[in-house]
């Protein structure tokens, strides 16, 4: 069964620190990967997509992909209390988008 | 462009009843996927429709069904509701290919009593 795994957390960081979120996937054929942010009671909101090995930066967010290790990560620099949410990693496996169960991030002020 | 819309936003039903949820994708998007989200299981894929055809289906019982109309709007139906069907039901749309970015609607919160 194709899976995406994440540490459930909670991951606690102080305001201004770097938060590092990690994800592994089982399907070696996966080519597209996504990070979504979900606030409590809300729907997932796309933060980043990444398709190639290496880093992709967008503002305070950097996604990293290593296909050989089947590993995807998300770094959040200068973490803010408003970043406190659950972060979902997702990977296309065949014709289905598979989600991890999410990592809960708590940023304290 | 308007985002993905879902109606209703909240529903309360009793066991044994059936329910229909509606989703309108982003204009121009032809693929609609449905997910069930519960605290214990996370986001689980129900099915995907593209141009009125079910293209992919997750591992859910036949009580869960869906359809897509010619204007890309989609409905999902759950018959003979069970307590365990209480969840947030999310609809997501993509432009064309199944590897495109998915954009989620606000969801329908279903409570089964």
Taking the C-alpha atoms of residue A55 and residue B103, their distance in angstroms, rounded to an integer, is 23
- pLDDT at B99 (0 to 100): 63
Taking the C-alpha atoms of residue A30 and residue A3, their distance in angstroms, rounded to an integer, is 11
User: Using an 8 Å Cβ cutoff, are A75 and A56 in contact?
Assistant: no
Interface of B with A in 18-77 (CB under 8 A): 33, 35, 41-43, 45, 48, 55-56, 58
How do beta strands B103-104 and B87-94 pair? antiparallel
Taking the C-alpha atoms of residue A43 and residue B33, their distance in angstroms, rounded to an integer, is 14
Taking the C-alpha atoms of residue A3 and residue B78, their distance in angstroms, rounded to an integer, is 26
Taking the C-alpha atoms of residue B100 and residue B96, their distance in angstroms, rounded to an integer, is 7
Taking the C-alpha atoms of residue B47 and residue B89, their distance in angstroms, rounded to an integer, is 12
pLDDT tens-digit map of A57-103: 999 999 999 999 999 999 999 999 999 999 999 998 877 889 999 99
Task: Say yes or no: A39 contacts chain B, CB-CB below 8 A.
Answer: no
Interface of A with B in 40-79 (CB under 8 A): 42-46, 49
What pairs with residue B22 in β-bridges?
B7, B75
Contacts of A33 in chain B (CB under 8 A): none
What 3-state class would DSSP assign to A82?
helix
A12: pLDDT strictly greater than 90: yes
Question: Long-range contacts made by residues A27-30, C-beta under 8 angstroms, separation at least 24?
Answer: A27/A2, A27/A91, A27/A93, A27/A94, A27/A98, A28/A67, A28/A70, A29/A93, A29/A94, A30/A70, A30/A91, A30/A92, A30/A93
pLDDT tens-digit map of A31-64: 899 999 999 989 999 999 999 999 999 999 999 9
Taking the C-alpha atoms of residue B79 and residue A4, their distance in angstroms, rounded to an integer, is 30
Minimal CA separation from A45 to chain B, in Å = 7
pLDDT tens-digit map of B56-74: 899 999 999 999 999 999 9
Q: Mean pLDDT throughout B62-89? A: 97
> Is the backbone of residue A31 left (phi > 0), alpha (psi -120 to 50) or beta?
alpha
- pLDDT at A97 (0 to 100): 87
């Amino acid at each position: 069964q194709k899976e995406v795994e994440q540490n459930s957390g909670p991951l606690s960081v102080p305001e201004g620190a770097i938060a590092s979120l990690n994800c592994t996937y089982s399907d070696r054929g996966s080519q597209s990967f996504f990070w979504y942010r979900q606030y409590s009671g809300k729907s997932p909101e796309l933060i980043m997509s990444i398709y190639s090995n290496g880093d992709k930066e967008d503002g305070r967010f950097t996604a990293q992909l290593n296909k050989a290790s089947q590993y995807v990560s998300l770094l959040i620099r200068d973490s803010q209390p408003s970043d406190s949410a659950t972060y979902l990693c997702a990977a296309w496996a065949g014709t289905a988008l598979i989600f991890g169960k999410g990592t809960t991030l708590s940023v304290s002020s | 462009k308007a985002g993905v819309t879902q109606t209703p936003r909240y529903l309360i039903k009793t066991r044994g009843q059936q329910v229909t949820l509606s989703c309108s994708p982003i204009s121009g998007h032809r693929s609609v996927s449905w997910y069930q989200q519960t605290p214990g299981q996370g986001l689980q894929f129900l099915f995907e429709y593209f141009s009125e055809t079910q293209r992919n289906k997750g591992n859910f019982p036949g009580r869960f069904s869906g359809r897509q109309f010619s204007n890309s709007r989609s409905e999902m139906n759950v018959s003979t509701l069970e307590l365990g069907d209480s969840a947030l039901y999310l609809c997501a749309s993509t432009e064309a290919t199944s590897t495109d970015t998915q954009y989620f609607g606000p969801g329908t919160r279903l409570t089964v009593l």
